[in-house]
Amino acid sequence: MRVDYPSLAKTIAALTEGETDVVALMATIACEVHHADARFDWTGFYRVTAPELLKIGPYQGGHGCLVIPFARGVCGAAARTGQVQLVRDVDAFPGHIACASSTRSELVLPVWDGAGRLLGVFDIDSDQPDAFRREDAEALESILRESFASVK
């Protein structure tokens, strides 16, 4: 099963219309994205809770890491740089944090509120190597931008 991004975007927009609570948005998005594609083994958010610090937020899948400093791992790199991290082989990523030994590839996107503040990162892990493409990142960036635009 491969994700149909236009349909997913419409579903998420309908489910979250008018919602401004960050946790409610994160929970709904994590659930919908996780179940949209067989490649997605772990899907969830890490929230900025202190300077240079991410903590686990709503997710689907097995246990995630509870705390991730901006200085470590793929999620930390996305938060630190504000740029999408598309990692085809996590074993080749310097400083990768192995929250789950099954993870082979990873896609992490920064999440911004409507005022341009970093809320956290959206992390998708796959148990398949080289599972993600630029098209995945672009479609998910658009969904995240639309979903969190009204959060101030």
What pLDDT digit, counting tens, does each position of 53-110 carry?
999 999 999 988 999 999 999 999 999 999 999 999 988 888 777 777 788 999 999 9
Amino acid at 59: Y
Domain-wise residue ranges, the chain: 5-148
**pLDDT at residue 107 in the model:** 98
Nearest-angstrom CA–CA distance, 18 and 2: 28
**pLDDT at residue 152 in the model:** 84
**Coil, helix or strand at residue 42:** strand
Pick the CATH number of 5-148 from 3.40.50.300, 3.30.70.1050, 3.30.450.40, 2.60.40.10: 3.30.450.40
Q: What is the DSSP letter of 91?
A: G
Nearest-angstrom CA–CA distance, 132 and 122: 14
Do residues 23 and 145 make contact, with C-beta atoms less than 8 angstroms apart? no
**pLDDT at residue 151 in the model:** 94
Nearest-angstrom CA–CA distance, 138 and 136: 6
- Checking DSSP bridges between strand 85-87 and strand 67-69, what pairing results, if any? unpaired
Q: Is the pLDDT of residue 35 over 80?
A: yes
The edge-to-edge listing of strands for the beta sheet with 105-112 is 67-69, 53-60, 42-50, 118-126, 105-112, 85-87
**pLDDT at residue 94 in the model:** 80
